Amino acid sequence: MQNMGMGCRIPVIDMKDFAGLKLLMMEMKVVSRSLLDLTVEVKLRNSDPVEGKGYTSPHKASAVFEGLGT
- Helix, strand, coil proportions of the chain in percent (round to 5)? 30, 10, 60
pLDDT digits 0-9 by tens, 7-48: 677 777 666 766 677 888 888 899 989 998 999 899 888 877
Residue 9 within a domain: yes
**Residue 18 is part of which domain span?**
2-37
pLDDT at res. 3: 52
Residue 49 located in a structural domain:
no
**Across 57-61, average pLDDT:** 82
Q: What is the pLDDT of residue 31?
A: 92
Given a cut of 90, whether residue 6 has pLDDT beyond it is: no
Residue 65 domain-assigned? Answer: no
- Average the pLDDT over 37-66 and give the result: 84
Q: What is the number of domains present in the chain?
A: 1
DSSP annotation of 64 reads: T
In a domain, 53, yes or no: no
Which pLDDT value is given to residue 56?
Answer: 84
